[in-house]
């Protein structure tokens, strides 16, 4: 039997298409419990690699012969060795090229919809981290919103679409992942926007992203308009694109709402969060399609792989938008928070431009699931 090698894109297709997959994860139990490749129809077996050094005979009965089997580890080496042992035992299996490291980094671009005058809006889904980035395209120009640090994914996509990146935005100073926004702007000569209330400590030049800021992408009047919406951070800003789409950053998610504590100011910002969610957003059209900057669980993906729901649906279904008592709301978002993101303080420093870690160090900083939401 030969060992198959799958890349992250192949695994992503199985996630998006809701296909069955059996994953043998050979990382340590704590790593597996904290973060794994999620799929609605995936099955899992976690056996640490060191328990398989003497052979795989004892686990053969636990591995199905009638399903695709993928062996996963942190960086590839251990999964390849286990896959080879399973192959020698007569099983057809694959291993994940680059391991969980490459899974964390992979971006799947998915078209969300068309814009007035022939433009397009794309969502870049980072399945392994829960990050969501966006590209607005119109008349040969593009705007990017909340880009992650893998800048080639965006510049290559723009080149493939034959469009020039003119504007790059960050909805806020991110704390759970390293932004690629200013680096894309520097390499493409685009204008980089950042909310000034989040930028008091940054050490690089930027264009202030203020309430009411509007830029036009292309000549077909695809306006990208900014709405000040604090609460996750004091500078958090949302966008209404083409009067159809509401990009909410980390303020509002499909199944939850943003947490206000990642700068250590939860008590100060909880009021802003409620004001944004219960007043500012209530003034917007229920028909707007909400496009957040993160998702938390695989069930938030639609059938086409996008993460999106109309604002009216969220007002009806999202628990975080239906806590009438203000004291209860304050308690929920300040006292019942999940663990904070891995290395979030250092990530904030990177996004301020104060430190410049190596690529390996950046990878380690970002390891783990998204934790920007109140659960």
The residues carrying an active-site annotation are 73
Residue 220: Cβ within 10 Å count: 15
Query: In whole angstroms, what is the distance from residue 186 CA to residue 166 CA?
Result: 11
Paired tokens of 272: 């802003």
Task: Tell me how far CA of residue 258 lies from CA of 172, 209, 253, 371, 372, in angstroms.
Answer: 12, 20, 7, 9, 6
How many whole angstroms separate alpha carbon 255 and alpha carbon 23? 26
Q: SS3 for 80?
A: helix
Is-contact 178 349, C-beta < 8 A?
A: no
Angle between helices 359-366 and 344-351 (to 10 degrees): 130
Q: How far apart are CA 325 and CA 327, in angstroms?
A: 6
d(CA 272, CA 198): 14
Tell me the two tokens of residue 1.
């039997």
The total number of residues written for the chain in this structure:
375
- Supply the DSSP string of 210-273, one letter for each residue: -TT-EEEETTTTEEEEEEE--SSSTT-EEEEETTTEEEEETSB-SSSEE-S-TTS-HHHHHHHH
């Amino acid at each position: 039997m030969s060992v198959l090698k799958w890349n992250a894109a192949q695994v992503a297709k199985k996630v998006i298409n809701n296909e069955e997959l059996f994953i043998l994860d050979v990382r340590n139990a704590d790593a597996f419990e904290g973060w794994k490749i999620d799929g609605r129809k995936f099955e899992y077996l976690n056996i640490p690699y060191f328990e398989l050094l003497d052979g795989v005979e004892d686990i053969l009965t636990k591995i199905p012969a009638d399903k695709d089997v993928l062996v996963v580890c942190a960086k590839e080496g251990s999964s390849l060795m286990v896959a080879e042992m399973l192959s020698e035992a007569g099983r057809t299996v694959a291993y994940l090229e680059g391991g969980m490291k490459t899974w964390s980094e992979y971006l799947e671009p998915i078209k969300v919809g068309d814009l007035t005058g022939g433009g397009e809006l794309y969502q870049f889904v980072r399945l392994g981290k829960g990050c969501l980035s966006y590209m607005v395209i119109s008349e040969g120009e593009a705007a990017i919103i909340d880009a992650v640090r893998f800048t080639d994914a965006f510049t290559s996509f723009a080149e493939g679409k034959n469009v020039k990146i003119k504007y790059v935005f960050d909805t806020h100073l991110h704390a759970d992942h390293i932004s690629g926004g200013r680096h894309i702007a520097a390499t493409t000569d685009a204008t980089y926007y950042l909310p000034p209330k989040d930028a008091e400590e940054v050490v690089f030049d930027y264009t202030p992203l203020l309430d009411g800021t509007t830029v036009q992408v292309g000549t077909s009047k695809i306006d990208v308009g900014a709405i000040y919406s604090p609460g996750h951070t004091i500078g958090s800003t949302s966008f209404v694109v083409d009067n159809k789409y509401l990009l909410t950053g980390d303020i509002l998610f499909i199944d939850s709402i943003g947490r206000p504590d990642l700068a250590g100011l939860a008590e100060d910002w909880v009021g802003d969060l409620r004001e944004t969610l219960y007043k500012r957003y209530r003034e917007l059209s229920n028909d707007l399609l909400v496009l957040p900057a993160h998702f938390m669980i695989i069930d938030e993906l639609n059938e086409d792989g996008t993460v999106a729901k109309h604002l009216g649906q969220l007002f009806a279904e999202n628990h975080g938008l239906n806590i009438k008592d203000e004291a209860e709301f304050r308690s929920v978002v300040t006292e019942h928070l999940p663990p904070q993101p891995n290395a979030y303080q250092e990530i904030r420093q990177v996004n301020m431009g104060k430190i410049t870690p190596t690529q390996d160090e950046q990878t380690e900083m970002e390891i783990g699931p998204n934790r920007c939401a109140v659960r």
